Amino acid sequence: MTQVSICTAVIIDDHAPVTIHELARCCEQQIEWVMSLVEHGVLPTLRQTERPEGWVFASAAVARARQVSRLQRDFEVNLDAAALMADLMQEVRSLKLQLRGF
């Protein structure tokens, strides 16, 4: 019997912004979830219009949103806790980079 693994990849271009629809699809979430990230200050927008369909994000927002989504799923925590965990993980990475510089 043959086992098949399906992998997905997201190509992120630092110079190509993403729409709210693309961001939601990359995270396998609903647009309302992305809107809540913006409302809670977890995810900044490059351009925020009156209607969410016009919102545009930096491509780096994909990685952060996916990380928050995974943390919520894996640890069964609310958005605030997942955002705090993501911030702390980023801080640890920054500190490790600083230590390597010495």
Q: What is the 3-state secondary structure (H, E, C) of 15-64?
A: CCCEEHHHHHHHCCCCHHHHHHHHHCCCCCCCECCCCHHHCEECCHHHHH
Neighbour count for residue 72 (Cβ, 10 Å):
18
Tell me, rounded to whole angstroms, the distance of Cα 65 from its chain centroid: 1
**Cα–Cα distance, 80 to 59 (Å, whole number):** 22
Q: Is the pLDDT of residue 93 over 70?
A: yes
The reported pTM is: 0.82
pLDDT digit string, tens, across residues 11-70: 666 678 999 999 999 999 999 999 999 999 999 999 999 999 999 999 999 999 999 999
Q: Where are the beta strands (DSSP E) in the chain?
A: 18-19, 56-57
What are the residue boundaries of the structural domains of the chain, listed by start? 18-100
Given the candidates 3.20.20.70, 1.10.1660.10, 3.40.50.300, 3.40.50.360, the CATH classification of the domain at 18-100 is: 1.10.1660.10
